[in-house]
Amino acid sequence: MSKILPEGKYIDLSAGMRLHYHDLGSGYPVLFLQGSGSGASGWSNFQYNAPAFVEAGYRALLIDLPGYGYSSKPTDVVYSTDYFVGYIHEFLEAIGVDRLAIVGNSLGGALALGFALKYPQQAEKLILMAPGGIEEKADYFKMPGMAIMKEVFMGGATSRETLAEFIRKGLVYDPSDATDELIDQRWEIFQLQNDTVIKTMDVPNVTERLGEIQCPVLVFWGINDNMMPETGILKLAKGLKNMRMEIVSECGHWFMIEHTALFNKTSLEFLADK
């Protein structure tokens, strides 16, 4: 099968995990952590952002999280925050990266928070787009987009059109932002997925620990997000000690895709600010 999504590099980690990633540019490393969902991958999440970071002089690392993209998808594990963060740390050690900035949306945002809590000396700045990990699981699945995602992931995506409907209703405010190319990419990757990652996902609520995070944090939030409860806005604003937030109207869950220029410009200014 010819692949729409570009293949990058692979690295073999513990317990048979083969992690797929893109390593672009040089300079200070910025790790991009994708969200969850049907057909998600590092490249499909951040293909419009990473090149701008590279052009600005950064090293962009885009990984496919375990269970996603071209990375291994074991069916005998629990996909918990600790499981993901363990492999993220192992990956960074293997490629020789010690200190870095982390960009994460949705699940990737929860993992960025989890990494910063476990390895505070390594995570020097965080850029989060409507991150998970700050609500109880039941509250997430009350959200209309999340309910559709669960149905699709558990066998409902019998066609590209079913997946496209989820993306256009659940992830973006303006359906035209979910281009045919993006949908084709996610449909291709969805063929490789199994449902263990969504069935077993265990991302605890770390709201009470946000005050432990000392590094600067930049948060983006689309006010029309159908995936994340808007209560997360105040939880982050009150909980994080060193944070600024960009809230944008007429924007859904994919801030970095729906408002690419704003996201790239604001993020690069934040990284450059000493």
259 is catalytic: no
Asked whether the beta carbons of 22 and 9 are under 8 A apart, the reply is yes
Structure tokens belonging to residue 215: 């590094």
What is the C-alpha separation between 72 and 151, in angstroms, rounded? Answer: 23
Residue 243 neighbours by CB under 8 Å, 6+ apart: 216, 217, 218, 219, 236, 237
Structure tokens belonging to residue 137: 């699981």
CA angle, residues 80, 123, 112, in degrees to nearest 5: 30
In the chain, the amino acid numbered 151 is E
Asked whether the beta carbons of 46 and 6 are under 8 A apart, the reply is no
Say how many C-beta atoms besides its own lie within 10 A of residue 159's C-beta: 10
The DSSP element (H or E) to which 228 belongs, if any, is: none
Residue 212 neighbours by CB under 8 Å, 6+ apart: 117, 120
Paired residues of 102 in beta bridges: 31, 126
Catalytic residue among 20, 22, 253, 259: 253
The DSSP element (H or E) to which 254 belongs, if any, is: none
Phi first, then psi, for residue 169 (nearest 5°) are -95, -30
Catalytic residues: 253
